[in-house]
Chain A
Amino acid sequence: MTDCPDGLMRDQLPEYVHGTLAAAEAARVDGHLEVCAACREEVALLQTVRAVAAHRTPAMDVAAIVAALPAAPVAIRVMTSRPRWTAVRSWQYAAAAVLLLAVSSTTLWRAPRADGPARLADSTQAPARVGASSDTPAVVAVPARATSGMSFGGGLSDLSLDDLQALLIQMDSVKAVPSSDPAPMTPVIATTEGEKSL
């Protein structure tokens, strides 16, 4: 068997045997095969090779292969989704959250304004004054606004824009980390003649 000198034609023969050539190319190969005995023999050989491969290959059990595959991603999500009782619990949580929000809103709406007594005690201020008479309910009466120092008394929601601005300035002025160097001081010795600085 001598090889056909047309290398490009020979290169197309496997695709021709597979039937994957475009129609025009396949027609060109058909025309060539009519006049080329070497290529006809090669095509016959290619077909025999394919037949040998098919003959020696066992049929695959598709179902067995698929059974060994991992489940599809979304299917995994569905399978591992929370059981029904946890879904019910989620609704309960949601309902509880809504209820809590409603109660909080009502409380805030009924709360006194900033010019009234503050709701929250200010730890930087004087102790709260408790009502004197026993029939007067104990009311925590602390100043609504801090008069000095940094204070959150009354809650941030009660502060005006100016107050918030002032608070931010105060926060900026705070040194979070104290200096490691001790402040300079002048020792004083007390004697019978009085105090004397060194």
Chain B
Amino acid sequence: MDLALIARWKGGDQRAATELVQRHAQSLARFAASHGGSDGVDELVQDTFVRAFNSLESFRADSSLRTWLFTILKRLMLDRQRAERRQRNQVELDEGHAVQEFDALDGMVADETMGRVHRAMERLSPLQKSVFTLRVTEGMAYADIARVVESTEGACRVHYHNAMRAIKEYLRDD
């Protein structure tokens, strides 16, 4: 389906681009939001598509377009995190601000169970969170997750089960 849409776009059909964005934008947004709240998610997703379409000629069909898009998004998120870390070091942001930010995000989750699960996920390491999110919210296979996070399939399976255990333990003890 994606390959056919890409072929149509290369043939001059701009509507194919709209279909491709419709198919993947929300999934990419979910992944981005799970790693840093809703701020800037639309910008990240847009940048992902812009970067992808600018290098669509180099896209090889040995992985799915979806996996490729997530790989681009993951790299953009890492770039953004590095930039934010540098900025934080410059302004010496205090811990209080971070707690307020977390509380504000937490307030978005209305349901108590959802709030607890959200807090449990926030405690995962970035890699665990990436693997767990891609596996659970996107239903991605370990092989594709490994491409996105640049790891191995076996390591991703271990990260997933460790994340699941950590979340269960948090929910049990909370």
Once bound together, how far apart are the Cα atoms of A10 and B25, in whole Å?
Answer: 29
Q: For the complex, is A64 an interface residue (Cβ under 8 Å from B)?
A: yes
Q: For the complex, is A66 an interface residue (Cβ under 8 Å from B)?
A: yes
| Count of A-B contacts judged by CB separation below 8 Å | 127
Query: Among the interface residues A49, A61, A77, which one has the most CB atoms of the partner chain B within 10 A?
Result: A49
Give the residues from 29 to 77 in chain A that come closer than 8 angstroms, CB to CB, to chain B: 42, 45-46, 48-66, 68-75, 77
| SS of A interface (majority) | helix
Once bound together, how far apart are the Cα atoms of A58 and B14, in whole Å?
Answer: 25
Q: Which of B28, B54, B109, B136 contacts A50 (CB 8 A)?
A: B136
Interface size on B, residues (CB 8 A): 52
A15-B139, A59-B26, A70-B54 known; A53+B14 contact, CB < 8 A = no
Contacts of B18 in A (CB 8 A): 62-63, 66
Q: For the complex, is A14 an interface residue (Cβ under 8 Å from B)?
A: yes
Residue of B nearest to A16 (CB): B139
A58-B33, A65-B25 known; A45+B168 contact, CB < 8 A = yes
Contacts of B164 in A (CB 8 A): 42, 45
Q: For the complex, is A1 an interface residue (Cβ under 8 Å from B)?
A: yes
Contact assessment for B25 and A53 in the assembled complex, using a CB-CB cutoff below 8 Å: no
Residue of B nearest to A42 (CB): B164
Once bound together, how far apart are the Cα atoms of A52 and B112, in whole Å?
Answer: 11
Q: Which of A17, A56, A73, A77 contacts B33 (CB 8 A)?
A: A56
Digit string of B37-52 for contact with A (CB within 8 Å is 1, else 0)? 1100110011001100
Give the residues from 61 to 105 in chain A that come closer than 8 angstroms, CB to CB, to chain B: 61-66, 68-75, 77-78
Q: For the complex, is B90 an interface residue (Cβ under 8 Å from A)?
A: no
Q: Which residues of A contact B (CB under 8 A)?
A: 1, 3, 10-11, 14-15, 17-18, 20, 42, 45-46, 48-66, 68-75, 77-78
| Given A3-B165, A14-B136, A54-B137; 9 other pairs, CB 8 A cutoff | A14-B135, A48-B114, A56-B34, A56-B108, A57-B30, A58-B33, A60-B26, A64-B46, A73-B12
Going nearest first, the 10 A-B pairs with the smallest beta carbon separation are: A74-B12, A18-B139, A60-B25, A53-B137, A57-B33, A57-B30, A53-B30, A52-B114, A72-B12, A69-B53
A-B contact pairs, 7 of them (CB 8 A): A3-B165, A42-B164, A57-B41, A58-B41, A60-B42, A68-B46, A69-B53
